[in-house]
Structure 1
Amino acid sequence: MHSFSTTTTDTTKTQNETSEKISAEQNDQTHIDSGSNLIKKPGGYMEAEGDINGNTLPADGVPRWGPQHAGAQQLAGMYSDTKRLQETIATYTAAIIGAITAALILSNVRYQFLPYMLIGFVLAGLVADFFSGLVHWAADSWGSVDLPIIGKGLLRPFREHHIDPTSITRHDFIETSGDLCAVAVPLFTIISYCQIQYTDLSIFGLAPPSVEEQTHREYGTSFFLFVLAILVVCTNEIHKWSHTYFGLPKWIEFLQWAHLVVPKKQHRLHHISPHDTHFCITTGWLNYPLHWIGFWPKLEYVITAITGVEPRTDDLKWASKVTIR
């Protein structure tokens, strides 16, 4: 009788342990315990809303994300003084030429141009969003940090960002947007060149008082390029806002809510490993359409078929770096 009771007790205990294990595994399909700041989804891990990079994870104790990740530390250490100088020069150059461009655009605005300005604003939002996605996809998916020039100069921040997503919030404007300022400088220069012929500079003694009137289309084109340049400069700042979990000004939260810039929750979808969707980080307007038509996977399929190279191999290599060597 005693033996039978013991056996029954052991069986019940085993069943309970099995049940608890199954329950834990089921829970693990949707989340990690409250001590972690990551959410587990089918296909990988993503940041939890409110995460400020204090994540610990997984059961083996190896950091999956954050500044304590060995790969993130090594990548952060590759940011050089030369790169900083280049970004600083580009930022101040864009600020000066951009201010001149803004003055020319504002001095030439007419109420008759408003419909064309609205069209230019929408087109600029779409174009900036597409190219932000294209560059983001290309830098995430292809190439290696070991490549000369573009490896450490362009690809390194993308590798760091996936294993330390909120590192961008600890970077100042120059480090975050210096490269984009360099892209905007030619745009500002072209716009200024186009607009200066329509600007009355006689008050500065630089031109005769009579100036040619520009057409709606000419001003609309310049305004489109101007908004595009501004969005290019601001893209990584907008990206930074999508990783800032507290302290954002109300006007930025409104822009995110109104989908005038990429919303925080939408961008979180990109941070589900292996980071293969929702690449657009300016307005976010094109993320769902491009995802719906399978644009990025199809593009990757073509490139892999031609080159034999699989996407995101370097990205995954850095994510798996658990020791600094």
Structure 2
Amino acid sequence: MVTPRTNSPDNSYTREHPERFSTAGPAGPLGYAADTQADLLLDLDLQDPSDARNASRGSERAHRPLVRERASTGVLRQGSGGKRTQECICVGICMTLMVVNFFFIIFHVRIDNLSTILVAAFCGIVTADFGSGLVHWAADTWGSVELPILGKNFLRPFREHHIDPTSITRHDFIETNGDNFMVTIPFLARMVWDFLTLSEDDVQKKFTWNCYVFLLALFVAMTNQIHKWSHTYFGLPGWVVWLQECHVILPRRHHRIHHVAPHETYFCITTGWLNWPLEKLRFWSILEAVIEQTTGCKPRADDMKWAQKGT
């Protein structure tokens, strides 16, 4: 009989004391100021929680060659020219559709149904957060990079991200967001079509739904960018830091909990609002137990192999 996992002492400590794994000041959780952003992020993102409590500056620096060796195993995605072109086109189309839909929404909004619209918008954001968690959990937990097509193109970046979490900060806007923007294009295009072709009465009948879809699409499109910001500790715009601190988007400190091995919790990376309730419900661990009982597949088996590379 397979039972859901229980939190290990290390992970419990991390959840109870996330400030120990934050970057609230120039000195990281090890109590010293890093020389560069890369050094600081290596300290913050790739340490075991027991190391964070006990490691000294010297012992942490001693592990950096291994970290860099792991990070050099292919974490920088080298996209083809065709892939880059596809990403640029998708970003351009998606942003155009977002702007057009935004103006249509502003034009058709009515004060008398404003509360319903706000609820729909909130539900869209929550749905995006849950969707990010579901995809993140599935990619982190199941499958192998040896799978044809899916393994190399979809699962491998998730494995590499746990080895070098800061690699995402070296991706430009197009590379970071191209694929997510592409996913939202059909839904945004359908919204534009409705606004252009439906009568005012029909537009109002679908207006609440369209507000839900618009906020869902917006936050799905921006999920990778928000995730990138959660790993960026220097040079963020003030408004991004403010959104993180107000937990409108995924905060840096909050996301640190996921990056403690074995990466088995806090999968939602859009706003992170659902991480705490899902953890309290043991949602992911119960789901893993059911799948393991049904299929015999061990969760995170492939991820563990990647974590051991170079050791």
Per the shorter chain, which TM-score range? 0.7 to 0.9
Deviation at 1:78, TM superposition (A): 5.2
Whole-angstrom distance in 2 between the partners of 1:100 and 1:56 = 54
Contact 2:75–2:161 (8 Å) recurs in 1: no
CA shift, 1:57, in A, is 4.1
| CA displacement at 1:59 relative to structure 2 | 5.4
Which ranges in structure 2 are unaligned for 5 or more consecutive residues?
A: 1-20, 22-28, 35-41
Counterparts of 1:88-107 in structure 2, within 5 Å, are 88-107=88-107
Q: Answer whether contact 1:63 1:69 (CA < 8 A) is retained.
A: yes
1:266 is matched with 254
Deviation digits for residues 160-186 of structure 1 (CA, Å, limit 9, x no counterpart): 211111111110112111111111111
In structure 2, the partner of 1:37 is: 43
Residue 38 of structure 2 aligns with which residue?
none
Deviation at 1:250, TM superposition (A): 1.8
Matched, 1:244 2:232: yes
One-letter identity of the residue aligned with 1:37: D
- List alignment gaps of at least 5 residues for structure 1: 1-29, 49-54, 199-210
Q: Tell me the equivalent position of 2:87.
A: 87
Structure 1 residues 147 and 169: CA distance shift in structure 2, 3 A: same
Q: 1 CA distance for matches of 2:259 and 2:146?
A: 23
Which of 285, 295, 306 is the aligned partner of 1:318?
A: 306
Cα distance in 1, alignment partners of residues 304 and 96 from structure 2: 40
Provide the rounded CA distance (Å) in 2 between the counterparts of 1:295 and 1:219: 33
Letter in 1 for 2:169: T
Given candidates 244, 248, 262, the residue that maps to 1:256 is: 244
Worse-superposed segment, 98-107 or 147-156: 98-107
The answer as to 2:150 corresponding to 1:150 is yes
Kept after mapping to 1: 8 A contact 2:195/2:203: no
Please give the per-residue CA displacement for 1:100-150, whole angstroms capped at 9, x wherever unaligned.
Answer: 323322332232332122112210111000000000001111112222222
SS of the residue 1:76 aligns to: coil
1:33–1:61 distance in 2 versus 1, CA, 3 Å = farther
Distance in 2 (CA, whole Å) between partners of 1:282 and 1:59 is 34
Residues 1-325 of structure 1 aligned to structure 2 (within 5 Å) = 37-38=43-44, 39-42=47-50, 57=60, 62-64=65-67, 68-70=68-70, 72-76=71-75, 79-81=78-80, 82-198=82-198, 211-214=199-202, 217-322=205-310
Following the alignment from structure 2 to structure 1, what is the Cα–Cα distance between the partners of residues 251 and 205?
A: 32
Shift of the 56–117 alpha-carbon distance from structure 1 to 2, 3 Å rule, reads farther
Q: How far apart, CA to CA, are the structure 2 residues paired with 1:217 and 1:246?
A: 46
Q: 1:155, CA displacement in angstroms?
A: 1.4
Q: What is the TM-score normalised by the length of structure 2? A: 0.78
Output the TM-score relative to the length of structure 1.
0.74
Structure 1: distance between partners of 2:115 and 2:307: 48
- 1:244 and 1:56 map into 2 onto residues whose CA distance is 24
Q: CA deviation at 1:273?
A: 0.5
* Mapped partners of 2:224, 2:114: distance in 1: 28
Count of aligned pairs between the two proteins:
271
1:200-254 Cα distance to aligned partner (Å, 9 max, x none): xxxxxxxxxxx43346552111011011101011011111111111222221112
* 3-state SS of paired residue (1:262): coil
Maintained 8 Å contact 1:238/1:281:
yes
- Cα distance in 2 for residues equivalent to 1:259 and 1:165: 21
1:60 is displaced (CA, Å) by 6.4
> Could you tell me whether the CA contact under 8 Å between 2:75 and 2:164 is conserved in 1?
no
Give the Cα–Cα distance (whole angstroms) in 1 for the partners of residues 104 and 168 of structure 2.
33
Spell out, residue by residue over 1:268-302, the C-alpha distance to the aligned partner (whole angstroms, 9 max, x if none): 00000010000001111100000001111111111
In 2, Cα distance between equivalents of 1:244 and 1:156: 22
Letter in 2 for 1:296: W
**How far apart in 1 are the matches of 2:90 and 2:289?**
36
- Cα distance, 1:322 vs. partner? 1.6
Is the contact between residue 91 and residue 181 of structure 2 (CA under 8 Å) also seen in structure 1?
A: yes
Q: State how far apart, in whole Å, the 2-side matches of 1:60 and 1:220 are.
A: 53
Change (3 A) 1:116 1:158: same
Calculate percent identity across the aligned residue pairs: 44
**Secondary structure class of the residue paired with 1:270:** coil
Q: Which amino acid aligns with 1:194?
A: D
**Residues of 1 paired with 2:66 and 2:31: CA distance?**
15
Deviation of 1:73 after TM superposition, in Å, equals 2.5
| Cα pair 1:32 1:40 within 8 Å, conserved | no
Q: 1:153 Cα deviation (Å)?
A: 1.7
